[in-house]
Amino acid sequence: MKNIAVVGAGFSGAVIARELGKAGYRVSVFDARPHIAGNCHTERDAETGVMVHAYGPHIFHTSNEKVWNYIRQFDEFMPFVNRVKAISKGRVFSLPINLLTINQFFGKTFNPKEAEAFLASIGDQSIAAPQTFEEQALKFVGKDLYEAFFRGYTTKQWGMHPSELPASILKRLPVRFNYDDNYYASTFQGMPKNGYTYIVERILDHPNVTVQLNTRFERAMAPGYAHVFYSGPIDAWFNYSEGRLGYRTLDFVTERHTGDYQGNAVINYCDEEVPWTRISEHKHFSPWESHEKTLIFKEYSRYCEERDTPYYPIRLAKEKSQLKSYIELAKGEKNMTFVGRLGTYRYLDMHVTIAEALDAAERFLELDPAGGVMPAFAVDPLG
């Protein structure tokens, strides 16, 4: 039996560990934190009984049927659709921008065609190929909607003006010319009945897989394993020799109340003057449960310092050039593959993480028995 090390017990690490364990490898999983499931970790709050997304809201959605079938082996998924509300200048709107948002914001009764023509008329059509977040917004939704929903929120979320950020960040959000207020365009969406930590626990529950928490995987430990799958921060593995890769981190200020605090799971606060970006009320992520008390997170975004938990990779020109150097270093490592959000320094939704982990495991299981060598990356971190 070959020994394999998997660093990190989030979705990446857990899925790879299970697939290799199933194939007959002896897999040791290490995580520096005292719990599994990484930033997807959920736990029940003792005081309110509410299932808390300890590192902020995680809503499972995917159009990948293979991933949807895979994840549902480990827990029942309950119906949940993320319908976000946004507060801007004293008024509440529906997000992502849809026909209701447009009609309410402009005091109109447009039908889909009229709304589309209207947005085209207020959009800045002199911008041919938008490069920045701001250009993308000005072209497709115009100045008023940009200033109401995106400028303040994005400045708070990224600590930068939208003119310094890439258009790709805004492209994550759709603009709809109908009344569909589902935040995601995915085919499948839902919430695990018992939370994400339960799912990861079940994924890791295999006789060939062992988990060591509170354990940092050190370079000196690597020679004991035929291969290492590393889902920790790529810069940390190389002792930050090329400088620290920039991340945004989040602070959550918890409040407990009685009854229903805000009537919805997520409300975004788009005005720059309000210091938090959004408030999440966690019992609304489990609408099949009932709780008298409630727990909310006020979410604040800031630059990730040394001891903070990294969330969003910044990935501007400077970070990308550092990343290039780390990629070269990674390619020089023997028998090691860098995976996941932190291992490849990319923004990854849970379903993408799982799909990539399944692919990485599959690739290893083809290569290794044939004497092939698994490369440092199963995906292109710059892609």
Catalytic residues: 172, 176, 248, 278, 299, 347, 349
Least spacing, CB of residue 113 vs ligand UDP, in Å: 26
Helix/strand/coil for 230: strand
CB 356, CB 340: distance < 8 Å: yes
Alpha-carbon dihedral sign for residues 322, 324, 325, 331: positive
State the burial class of residue 311 (Cβ atoms within 10 Å of its Cβ: 0-12, 13-18, 19+).
middle
Radius of gyration of the chain (CA): 22
Helix or strand (DSSP H, E) at 367: helix 350-367
CB of 253 vs ligand UDP, minimal distance in Å: 17
Closest-CA residue to 231 (of 360, 329, 383): 360
Stretch touching ligand UDP by CB under 6 A, among 107-115, 170-178, 230-238, 354-362: 170-178
In the complex, least distance from residue 317 CB atom to ligand UDP, rounded to whole angstroms: 18
Shortest separation between residue 87's beta carbon and ligand UDP, angstroms: 9
Residue 95 contacts ligand UDP per CB under 6 A: yes
Rounded CA-CA distance 38/33 in Å is: 8
Number of residues that bind ligand UDP (CB under 6 A): 13
Q: Does residue 20 bind ligand UDP (CB under 6 A)?
A: no
- The verdict on 150 binding ligand UDP (CB under 6 A) reads yes
Residue 170, interface with ligand UDP (CB under 6 A)?
A: yes
Among 62, 101, 136, 154, binds ligand UDP (CB under 6 A): 154
Report cis status (omega within 30 of 0) of the bond before 381. Answer: no
Please, are residues 136 and 97 in contact by the beta-carbon 8 Å criterion?
no
CB 220 within 8 Å of CB 38: no
Under rule CB under 6 A, residue 59 binds ligand UDP: no
CA proximity to 109, closest of 179, 62, 17, 184: 179
Question: Which residues, other chains included, contact 183 with Cβ-Cβ below 8 Å and sequence gap of 6+?
Answer: 59, 82, 83, 84, 95, 96
The DSSP code sequence of 66-105 is HHHHHHTTTSPEEP----EEEEETTEEEEES--HHHHHHH
Of 228 and 270, CB closest to ligand UDP:
270
Q: How far is the CB of 39 from ligand UDP (least distance, A)?
A: 12
- Tell me how far, at minimum, the Cβ of 149 lies from ligand UDP, in Å: 5
- 30 touches ligand UDP (CB under 6 A): no
| Binding positions for ligand UDP, 105-144, rule CB under 6 A | none
The yes or no reply on residue 149 touching ligand UDP (CB under 6 A) is yes
Say whether residue 97 binds ligand UDP (CB under 6 A). no
**157 is a contact residue toward ligand UDP (CB under 6 A):** yes
- Taking the least distance from each CB to ligand UDP, the nearer of 173 and 316 is 173
Told to check if 267 binds ligand UDP by CB under 6 A, we report no
Q: Does 270 bind ligand UDP (CB under 6 A)?
A: yes
> 159 or 375, CB closer to ligand UDP?
159
- Dihedrals φ, ψ of 93, to 5°? -130, 170
Which residue is at the shortest CB distance from ligand UDP?
Answer: 153
172 binds ligand UDP (CB under 6 A): yes
Q: Using CB under 6 A, pick the residue from 153, 229, 237, 261 that binds ligand UDP.
A: 153
Separation of first and last alpha carbons in the chain: 35
Given 7, 86, 327, 348, the residue binding ligand UDP (CB under 6 A) = 86
Task: Verify binding: residue 169, ligand UDP, rule CB under 6 A.
Answer: yes
**Region binding ligand UDP by CB under 6 A among candidate stretches 107-115, 164-172, 218-226, 252-260:** 164-172
Helix (H) or strand (E) holding 359: helix 350-367
Which residues sit at the interface with ligand UDP, rule CB under 6 A? 86, 95, 149-150, 153-154, 157, 169-170, 172-173, 268, 270
